[in-house]
Structure 1
Amino acid sequence: MKAAVFHGRRDVRVQEWPDPPAPGPGEIQLAMVRASICGTDVEEYASGPHLIPLAKPHFASGHQGPLVIGHEMVGEVVATGPGVDAFAPGDLVVPGSGVSCGECRYCVRGRTNVCARYYTLGLHVDGGLAERVNVPARISRSAGGLDADVAIMAQPLAVALRAVRGITPEPGRTVVVIGLGGIGSLAVAACAARGVETVGVDVSAARLETGRRAGAGLLIDASREDASAAIRAATGGHGADVVIEASGAVAGLATAMNAVCRGGLVRLVGLHRDPSPLDLTRLVLEEITLDTSKVHICDQDLPEALALLTAHPEIATTALDDVITLDRLVPDGLERAGRGDAAGKVVVRF
């Protein structure tokens, strides 16, 4: 089969790759219909490997060496393994991205996204930027009557829903989203669907436009003005009650820390590789909460994402940048997104 295979930094090849074996117990085999790339895929390509286990086996998946990337996908079931009765050939399915053990202390508490033996499709084992892939049935959900072009946004929307969980409409509350790429723009859309008004911050005019379409009430171009000062001006000098940092950039974190109000919340969603000094004294003296959000909890966030897309399919269009073929993945997907030219999700149509 044809697949996008990671071999090393700036070395992803669209090549022939072995077909997956017959699905094992609890697995389903999908023929890919749509897949998309994420900021993590772009980071692995541009400066990795950070997460992909090229040099030694992954502690949970056991995989070592080149692998098929892609953890955002929609596929049609072509085969089911022993013990699978929830799906049948022909079903359109959206898998979650992470595989948890179901047995450790974290899984037992429902926190499957921090499972002690967690691994991710497309990062720690072969993923969905290929013609076929095997995935666990237990992390997969039916796409129901959704069109594949809408369903492809379900997994990233699930990540965004986890990022905004607990944020509800309140009079006078200001919610800021920094970084209006795939996850950030979907976080804005998720807030808008719940009646939560947001301020969007980015350095890209195209991504700011995506944030506007997603429902941001105020947009701040951080390439032209001091974003934290603009946020404070817009809030009467108090600062934002909630700041979601989705850019993963040092400047984004600095803006978040400078813009949050006393007693406010900063939630980190983007992955920060660079050293990021924090004013811990201010966090304590102003009782600012700093927390994080990692991917999604499949049983909670993925069904909610599918339900939200069923009610608001326009969210998928809002978050879409381009649709390409697998052959064009590197120049029109990974390279373009790495330059910051993609204003939303780049989707591969099989």
Structure 2
Amino acid sequence: MTDSMPEVSFKGGFKRAPLEVSKADGEPVDLTRSGQGSTRRIALAVWEWTSSLLESSELAATGEQDEPQPTQTIVVYDEPDTHLDYRHQRTVMDIIRKQCALPHVSVIVATHSMNLIDGVDIADVVHLKLSDSGRTLVERLDGDTHDGIDFHLGQIAAAVGLRNSVLLHERCFLAVEGPTEQQCVPLLFRLSQGLPLQAAGIALWACDNNEGALHLAGYLVKHHRTVMLMVDADSRANKHFKTEKLIKAGLDLTKQVSYVGESQGYNELEELFSDLQWAAAANAHWPRPEGQPWSADDFSEHRGGKFSERILYMIKQQAAESSPNGKADMLYALVSMLTTPEEVPQQLRDIFTEVQALAC
């Protein structure tokens, strides 16, 4: 038995037709003088017509079968959303999904559009890049692992808010413990480093004390992506962040794991901020009803235990009408009042500098 080469036909489908375009009042439109946006919208209309053609019997094979079978068709798009506004980009995606749903149709899209890349499953994204030798390399995030594992990891990435474009292009992934850090770290980083996380090529995501997120971190490390894990010092007792699990995930404990507060004898992020900073935030956001101002001493007496829980309880008890919704809301209120890099705790500034260096 000899190998046979597949036969590919370009005869089917929409070849050519005269096209006349006019405005609503009947005035003809000269396409040679129209902008790229108008040309793209006309192409969009053609693609919509192509969808109808693919669904019709016009592409059916003329064999000896009782019921003609549709011709297996590949539709190729090259930068289909260029010069289109966001609403029309959504239309392009709807057309592509509609065509992909047909069992006899496969679709290939060449694009640099982050919107299109983020609109499909990460397992369907193929990244092409030039190597130093000038050869084209094909990269896929799912590597050579089992499809079921790839799907599971893709679900985790979506759950923690990592878009496809982020997974493909960001240079460093900063994993933090939960929603408190996820809300506050972007503000603290920008104030400390003078630019937002995105501009530094850093993707932020919250582990939420979830072992699946640690699996994702290990997966990214395995595929040569740069990862930094930043968790509270008391997370050493968390079963998901035990030393042996971090090592198993492939993380370098000296370069890729930071325990916030540990070097200063603290347990958590909230303790890095001074009692004066906490008092100022409390007076601004949660004043006591009787008008007695908060002082640094009100907060210093809660050091040594679970600081965040104790001061949250204190504020709720003494400023019930204006108390924060939770720990994340409480720290965000403090962080939003900071105005200079020096007000960001030194340990955080050191971590941010390290992460930025990793991203570079």
Task: Report the structure number with the largest CA radius of gyration.
Answer: 2
Fold match by TM threshold 0.5: no
- Per the normalisation by structure 1, the TM-score is 0.24
Q: Which has the higher strand share?
A: 1
